[in-house]
Amino acid sequence: MSETLLDVKGLSCPLPVLKANRALRDMQAGERLRVIATDRASVADFQAFCRETGHALIAFGEEAGVLSFVIRRRPDAS
C-alpha cells in the first residue's frame, strides 16, 4: 500500500498536527500518511490527535532527531 509523505520538519506545535489533519481530509479511508517532524511535542500531539479523531497511529520512530509517524485514516472519516 502506498503512503503520502508530509514533511513538517522545522514547524512547531500545533502546525504539524494541523497540516496532517488537512492532508488526511483529502485522503480515502484506510490510506496512510507518513509525517516527518522535528518538534518533540509532536509525539504527544499525534498520540492525542489519533486518540481523539479515530485515525490509527500505526508506527512511530526517530532517527537523528527526525520523528516519523505513520497514520492510517479512519474507515468512517468524511
C-alpha cell, 72:
492510517
Q: Which of 4, 7, 11, 13 is catalytic?
A: 13
Q: In 1-78, which residue ranges form alpha helices assigned H by DSSP?
A: 15-25, 42-53
Report d(CA 21, CA 37) in Å as an integer: 14
Q: Which three cell numbers stand for residue 1?
A: 500500500
Which letter does DSSP use for residue 2 in this model? Answer: -
CA distance 39 to 26: 24
Q: Is 13 a catalytic residue?
A: yes
> Which positions are annotated as active-site residues?
13
